[in-house]
Amino acid sequence: MSVDTKTAIEVRGLAKRFGDVEAVAGIDFDVRDGELFGFLGPNGAGKSTTINVLIGLARSDAGTIRIGGIDCSTNPKAAQHLMGVVPDESNLYPELTGFENLCFCGALYGMARRDRESRARDLLEQFGLTEAGGRKFGGYSKGMKRKLTIAAGIIHSPPILFMDEPTTGIDVASARQIRQLVAELNRGGTTIFLTTHYIEEAERLCQRIGFIVKGRIVRTDTVQDLMRRTDGRHVVQFAVSSGAARLCESIAAEFPALQCQAVSDTAVRVESPEPVRIGPLVRSIEDSGAEVTEARKLQPSLEDVFVEITGIEAGVMKQEREKAKMGGGA
Amino acid sequence: MKAWIAFWNILAKDFRAYYLKPPNISWGIIFPLAWTGMFFIRSGAGLDSVPTLLPGVIAVSILFGTTSLLSVTVTFEKKGRSFERLLLAPIPLEVLMLAKTAGAILFGVANAFVPVAMAAFLMDFSRVNWATLIPAIVLIAVSSTFLGLFIAVSVSEVFEAQTFSNFFRFPMLFLCGLFFPIAQLPVWLRPLSYVLPLTYGADVLHGSIHRAPYLPLVLDFGMLASFCILLFAFSLRNVRRKWIV
């Protein structure tokens, strides 16, 4: 099955309220055919609400959605034929084996027995789960569950795949494997709509990214264009013994051209449009009574762009990442 | 055709995952056996009482079997979010919900035949009207299952489903004329009896086994069918309103 149009997903004026809360406030965006589109934002920004409306698990209050050229408000079931969904939780059936789960998901899309069994075997092999295929899903590790959930999402070879936080809460090795699988799927021609709050993940995988904050898309661009904002910026991070906030105040007073930020009590981050001279800064910090244990030049990242565009403090994103990493981490 | 592949696989999956599990099989057999034995022994009227008690135990077996399992399994899948997977399938919601309920209907029908099989050793079946008994059993199973569905889509927790089920089941048992004739109920309670699907089912069961029905059969079957349609339609409306928000 292939999508006829050049735009795989077209969203116009999409709005959704839950009582007094405006979850999604009239957003517009397009995802091109064959693209891996990242949808980034902090918790509560409207990512999951948007994805739920797109896949048909929630109704919009306003706006239009076209998936593969099909108007979802008039023909949601036809649109569901074109899409695969990988939810943020592994929601397969614990009492069925991995193989049975995949076959069952294939049957939901009307696949004939022979086709779904053959495809299930192929996917188990592709995802490194052949040996586990005969075991009950309930006994899988978190990483294996995520992999099988992704396999279930693509059992019917959908041209468009929605992935909601695919690497949240799993161990580093599994997250890495999943990112490789996502990239492979996209190289194979699948359009992927990926929501995540791992900025590095989006930077590594996605061709274009939309930033959503408080239900509004604040910027949509290619990763290269977004990163261009950081061209000519110089960042140095100092590891200090203590009192980073106090040190920032004294640096700001002594070097007004520099932007200084206390990343933690023992880390000071300095930014400048000009190359940063480290010597005078180290002397200034040491004159203030603190010891410098390390000075490191940092490459500006997509996280810096995100912070600049959204105005959300890096600390907030860091907290969210750490909260997500409680179960493992990507 | 494609929707029917999904239908059969949802039904087969539910049988494997729920209805054919040893605890449910044993519950499905032991529960009707216990009810049947209890009523037959407690009545104290000897074997003559078997035909008059059989409609009651058939109805109890169906009602408890279907509502308990369906309301719990649907609530369980909703809570574990695996129900979302079904809602995402490109099949009409009507087909999906029929597939989810078909297993409970068959389970209810099978439950009904446990007391029938037991009574086969104790009473003469030559006067039983199977042509009305079997459709009545099927329609009672369908209406009870749809009642279970209505309960399942009205609650969010498994324990709530059980509590809410009892809120319907026990009053229904005592008001539907299975164990006490409706005519013996207080006048102010009688109208309530006629808004319960089991009242019409019980009348056909009694009519098929040991006496003439009080109401015309067309009315009994018509009302049972109407309750099935209404409960199913109301449940679908609730799924659309509450689960696809």
pLDDT in tens, B34-45: 877 777 776 666
State yes or no: pLDDT of B149 exceeds 50.
Answer: yes
Tell me whether B225 touches chain A (CB under 8 Å). Answer: no
pTM, two decimal places: 0.83
Q: What is the pLDDT of residue B39?
A: 73
Mean pLDDT of A306-320: 67
Q: Does B38 touch chain A (CB under 8 A)?
A: no
Q: Are A260 and A269 in contact (CB under 8 A)?
A: yes
pLDDT at A94: 92
Grade residue A328 by pLDDT with cuts at 50, 70 and 90: very low
Select from B144, B108, B122, B136 the least CA-distant residue to B227: B144
Residue A51: pLDDT over 60 = yes
Q: What is the nearest CA distance from A111 to chain B, expressed in angstroms?
A: 7
Domain limits, chain A: 7-228, 234-299
* Banded model confidence at residue B139, pLDDT cuts 50, 70, 90: very high
Which amino acid is present at B92? P
In which band, very low, low, confident or very high, does the pLDDT at A3 lie, cut at 50, 70 and 90?
very low
Reading the block at residue A38, the tokens are 């990242």
Report percent pLDDT > 90 for chain A: 59
Least Cα distance to B86 among A99, A150, A57, A103 occurs for A57
Say yes or no to pLDDT of A5 above 60: no
Long-range contacts from B20-27, C-beta under 8 angstroms, 24+ separation:
B24/B69, B24/B107
Helix runs in chain B, H state only: 2-14, 22-43, 50-79, 82-87, 93-119, 130-152, 158-175, 190-193, 197-209, 217-238
Mean pLDDT for chain A?
88
pLDDT at A226 over 50: yes
**A111/B5 Cβ within 8 A:** yes
Say which of A59, A89, A93 has its CB closest to residue B17: A93
pLDDT above 90: residue B164: no
Provide the pLDDT for residue B90: 94
Give the residue from chain B lying closest to A113, CA to CA. Answer: B5
- Fill in the amino acid letter for A266: T
- Element (DSSP H or E) covering residue A69: none
Interface touch A59/B244, C-beta < 8 Å:
yes
pLDDT digits 0-9 by tens, A85-105: 999 888 899 999 999 999 999
Q: Tell me, what's the pLDDT at B71?
A: 78
Among chain A residues, CA nearest to B4: A110
* Mean pLDDT (chain B, rounded): 88
- HEC-encoded secondary structure of B152-195: HCCCCCHHHHHHHHHHHHHHHHHHCCCCCCHHHCCHHHHHHHCC
Q: Residue B3's closest chain A neighbor by CA?
A: A110
What is the percentage of chain A residues whose pLDDT exceeds 70?
93
Nearest to B89 by CA among A114, A116, A71, A156: A156
Task: Judge whether A53 and A64 are in contact, CB under 8 Å.
Answer: no
ipTM for the whole complex: 0.86
Contact assignment for A77 to B80 by CB distance below 8 Å: no
Chain A contact present for B23, CB below 8 A: no
Return all residues near B86 (Cβ < 8 A) that are at least 6 apart. A108, B10, B77, B96, B100
Q: How far is CA B89 from the centre of its chain?
A: 27
Distance in angstroms (rounded) separating the CA atoms of residues B43 and B40: 6
Residue-range definition of the domain harbouring residue B152: 2-243
Q: Is A1 in CB contact (< 8 Å) with chain B? A: no
Strand A191-196 relative to strand A160-164, pairing: parallel
Other Cβ atoms closer than 10 A to A242? 12
Give me the pLDDT at residue A327, please: 45
Is residue A197 very low, low, confident or very high in pLDDT (cuts 50, 70, 90)? Answer: confident
Q: Given this structure, which CATH class describes domain A7-228?
A: alpha beta
pLDDT tens digits, one per residue of B51-81 = 888 898 899 889 988 988 887 788 888 888 8
In order, the DSSP letters of A72-98 are TTT-HHHHHHHEEEE-SS--S-TTSBH
Chain A residues closer than 8 Å to B2 by CB = 109-110
Q: Give the range among A96-110, A190-204, B152-166, B192-206 with minimum mean pLDDT.
A: B152-166
Identify the band that residue B231 occupies on the pLDDT scale cut at 50, 70 and 90. very high
Contact assessment for residue B232 and residue B90, using Cβ atoms and an 8 Å cutoff: no
Query: Dihedral of the CA atoms A70, A74, A80, A81 (nearest 10)?
Result: -60
Q: What is the pLDDT of residue A329?
A: 38
Which of A108, A111, A156, A164 should be substituted to probe chain B, the one whose Cβ sees the most B Cβ atoms within 10 Å?
Answer: A108
Segment B191-195 shows an average pLDDT of: 91
Is the pLDDT confidence value at B104 over 60?
A: yes
| CB-based contact B90 A92, cutoff 8 Å | no
What's residue A320's pLDDT? Answer: 62
**Smallest CA–CA distance from A101 into chain B, residue:** B13
- Domain count for chain B: 1
Q: Do A96 and B6 touch (CB under 8 A)?
A: no
Measured between CA atoms, the residue of chain A closest to residue B82 is A91
CA distance B81 to chain A (A): 6
- A53 against B75, higher pLDDT: A53
B22-43 vs B93-119: helix crossing angle, rounded to 10: 40
Asked if B5 lies within 8 A of A87 by C-beta distance, the reply is no
**Could you tell me if A255 lies within 8 Å of chain B, comparing CB atoms?**
no
For the segment B135-145, the average pLDDT, to the nearest whole number, is 96
> A158-172, A276-290, B72-86, B155-169: lowest mean pLDDT where?
B155-169
| Residues of chain A contacting B245 with CB distance shorter than 8 Å | 18, 58-59
- The pLDDT score that the predictor gives to residue B169 is 87
Length of chain B: 245
Distances (CA, A) of A153 to A139, A147, B17, B63: 20, 10, 21, 37
Residue A114: band (very low, low, confident or very high) from pLDDT cuts 50, 70, 90:
very high
Provide the b/e sequence for B72-103 (b: ≥16 CB within 10 Å): bbbbbbbeeebbbbbbbbbbebeebbebbbbb
The whole-angstrom separation of Cα A120 and Cα B71 is 31
Alpha carbons B228 and B230: distance in angstroms, whole number: 6
Residue B45 has a pLDDT of 63
Lowest mean pLDDT among A24-38, A131-145, A299-313: A299-313
Under an 8 A CB cutoff, do A57 and B89 touch?
A: no
CB pairs under 8 A between A and B: 69
Residue B99 has pLDDT above 70, yes or no: yes
Does residue A173 have a pLDDT over 70? yes
Q: Which residue has the higher pLDDT, B23 or A138?
A: A138
- CA A302 from chain centre, in angstroms, equals 12
A196, pLDDT greater than 50 = yes
Cross-chain Cβ contact A96/B16 below 8 Å: yes
* pLDDT confidence of residue A240: 92
At residue A322, does pLDDT exceed 70?
no
**How would residue A233 be classed by pLDDT, with cut points 50, 70 and 90?**
confident
Residue numbers in B near A111 (CB within 8 A): 5
**pLDDT of A217 strictly over 90:** yes
**What amino acid is encoded at B34 in this protein?**
A
Task: Look at residues B163, B218, B223 and name the one whose alpha carbon lies nearest to residue B198.
Answer: B223
CATH of domain A234-299: 3.30.70.100
| CB-based contact A80 B80, cutoff 8 Å | no
Is the pLDDT reported for residue A170 higher than 50?
yes
Mean pLDDT of A21-29: 95
What residues in A contact B92, CB-CB < 8 Å? 77
Say yes or no for a CB contact (<8 Å) between B87 and A56: yes
DSSP secondary structure string for all residues of A299-312: ---HHHHHHHHH--
Six-digit token string for B237: 């409306």
| Over residues B178-199, mean pLDDT | 88
**Mind telling me how many Å the CA of A293 is from chain B's nearest CA?**
50
The stretches of chain A forming alpha helices (DSSP H) are 47-55, 76-82, 98-108, 113-126, 142-153, 172-187, 199-205, 223-228, 244-254, 278-287, 302-310, 314-325
